[in-house]
Structure 1
Amino acid sequence: MNGLIKAEFRKIFTTHLWWALLIPVVVLSFLAGWGGTEFGQMSIIRQMTGGQDLPTGLLTMSLSTNYVTVFAALLGALAMTGEYRHKTATTTFLTANPRGAVLGAKLIAYTNIALIYGIANTLFASLGGLLGAGSDGFGEFAQWLMVGGAGILSIVLWTLLGLGFGAMVTSSVVAVLVLLGYVLVFESLVSSAMSSSAMSWLGDYLPGAASNGIVSNLSVPMFVSDVAGAREPMVSETAYRLLHSVFGGSYGFPWWGSLLVFAGYAAVFVAGGWLTSSKRDIT
């Protein structure tokens, strides 16, 4: 197993994929951290709260995470489909026994790369937030750690989901189109359609909503608590929903619930990838 893991790291660092996808992660994280604290809804919220220093960095860290998770999913999916596109899957599966060990090695290797993505997202979103909101924009250090850690978890889970999905479809083109189509278009349409029906509660259990909630359902209550203080119980549901509409997540759904839901999706795709890889003809 150690040999397979080392081989996966060699594959990763001798190709351009990992750092090519890391570039937009860094750029988007910084822009979300800076732009989110400096522009948009933040000026309105400052006016409503009398211009006080606000922990807006907590919110924009969740915003940046929700933007960049798609690149983590693409990283995982393309890592697996690339084996089939370049015909390296044949040699890999024939020399590794059992086949499941190959996927296991990839899961371990790409979890480590996903940690790099997650840490980069947290650091660059924080740097942008420091420029936009100053050092008072992140609340307490423990809060920054919790939100940053939740973001890292979200990125790791998206990477694992992408690996499993890539193992199932094997085509790089299909993997990219389906992931981007779902994240950017399809779920929004489904969520909008359900919002006006009796099934609106299911929206919190969709993959994208669950992923967003891992960070946003943690950061929004922290933000409200810091701003409202002892008056927090008096904060209206409308205020929460306004913040969630901008920064993701949903009112009243716990962040750990979102984590469990999305971890379930990731587990299903990893299991599906393992099953299809173990049975597929690779000659």
Structure 2
Amino acid sequence: MLGNLVKAEFRKTTTTGLWWGLLIPTFVIALGWALGTGAIGDGILEVFSSSEAEELTNAFGLDPSQWQLSLFGMARSINVATIFPMIFGGLAISNEINRRTITTTFLTAPNRVAALTAKMLVYIAWGAFYGIVIVASVSIGIALTSSPSALPDAGGWLAMCAVGLVASILMTMFGVGVGALMGSVVGTTVVLLLYMLIVENLIQLVLSSQGAPWLIGYLPNGSVNGITGSVASSLFLSAAGVVPDEVVQATRFFAGGLGAFEWWISGLIFLAWTALFFAGGWASTQRKDIT
């Protein structure tokens, strides 16, 4: 029975234009950010590798030829692009409630738990699909604008792709939870975008100015960005050799993971946020009267 519900959910999502309507800007934004950050990273390497900067880099014991700056561009680009699978997930149940198509789902399923479980499995798959598009787009963009020395090796590239997929899946499920909890298409979209793009960035600015950047790693956006940011930082440091402590502290900032912990800790923190909203949305949908 669950298999039939999953098939029905896939048909439901593929018969609307939402999935490809959001997939297009996902690809464009991921590719655009990767192209831009790759070019910026190459420009920085060119400056530090110049003869004018050689005395300064030698004084600090730095070797710019070992700087894989493209890792920071990959992390930043993935973080920005995962906004779209989050929005896609946010419309999962809220759009159905608005259009009343969820009535058929609940009436034909043996119970609401089975129906919501099928939705969860389907949107995990959609999150993975968006993640594949994101990491592929980012990889293409970074490869086109970064010099070979700035690119990670195969292991580093696979590591960034893996955490990119994890981030995309978690962001999708986070959106599903918020959408189910709010039950409003417009409200869900506005709240998710407003918080992720403006509100939390302001909170992060305040925390940084107050000398408490470590608290950022406990926030939703800070923790999900930490999944990719911490991996990018670790890979960069492992290839860069001996670097000053100031550079070590700055790497996570440039990777978009200020205040982040190890990638798996950041992942668990964001998973807790996702579970909190998903459980709230699940409970709200379980109690909701469908007419």
In the alignment, what sits opposite 1:120?
Answer: 133
1:10 alignment partner AA: R
Q: CA deviation at 1:111?
A: 1.2
Residues 199/226 of structure 1: CA separation in 2 closer, same or farther (3 Å cut): closer
Mapped to 2, the partners of 1:64 and 1:236 lie a distance apart of 26
In the alignment, what sits opposite 1:167?
Answer: 180
In the alignment, what sits opposite 1:99?
Answer: 112
Q: CA deviation at 1:28?
A: 1.3
Determine if the alignment matches structure 1 residue 242 to structure 2 residue 250.
Answer: yes
In the alignment, what sits opposite 2:142?
Answer: 129
Q: TM-score by structure 1 length?
A: 0.91
In the alignment, what sits opposite 1:262?
Answer: 270
Mapped to 2, the partners of 1:201 and 1:64 lie a distance apart of 22
Residues 240/147 of structure 1: CA separation in 2 closer, same or farther (3 Å cut): same
Q: CA deviation at 1:198?
A: 6.4
1:240–1:251 contact (8 Å) kept in structure 2: no
1:2 alignment partner AA: G
In the alignment, what sits opposite 1:62?
Answer: 75
1:241–1:251 contact (8 Å) kept in structure 2: no
Gaps of 5+ in 1: none
2:9–2:119 contact (8 Å) kept in structure 1: yes
Residues 137/120 of structure 1: CA separation in 2 closer, same or farther (3 Å cut): farther
Q: CA deviation at 1:76?
A: 0.5
Q: State the number of aligned residues.
A: 277
Determine if the alignment matches structure 1 residue 223 to structure 2 residue 236.
Answer: yes
In the alignment, what sits opposite 1:274?
Answer: 282
Determine if the alignment matches structure 1 residue 34 to structure 2 residue 35.
Answer: yes
- Aligned-residue sequence identity (percent) comes to 35
2:214–2:259 contact (8 Å) kept in structure 1: no
1:183 alignment partner AA: M
2:118 alignment partner AA: A
Moved more, 190-199 or 204-213: 190-199
Moved more, 106-115 or 168-177: 106-115
Is the partner of 2:201 in helix, strand or coil? helix
Mapped to 2, the partners of 1:253 and 1:48 lie a distance apart of 29
2:6–2:118 contact (8 Å) kept in structure 1: yes
Mapped to 1, the partners of 2:217 and 2:282 lie a distance apart of 27
In the alignment, what sits opposite 2:57?
Answer: none
Mapped to 2, the partners of 1:198 and 1:60 lie a distance apart of 26
2:28 alignment partner AA: V
Deviations along 1:24-47, one digit per CA (max 9) or x if unpaired, are 1111111122211112x5423443
1:100–1:277 contact (8 Å) kept in structure 2: no
1:19 alignment partner AA: W
Determine if the alignment matches structure 1 residue 22 to structure 2 residue 35.
Answer: no
Q: CA deviation at 1:145?
A: 0.6
Residues 279/222 of structure 1: CA separation in 2 closer, same or farther (3 Å cut): same
Mapped to 2, the partners of 1:59 and 1:193 lie a distance apart of 23
Mapped to 2, the partners of 1:126 and 1:199 lie a distance apart of 33
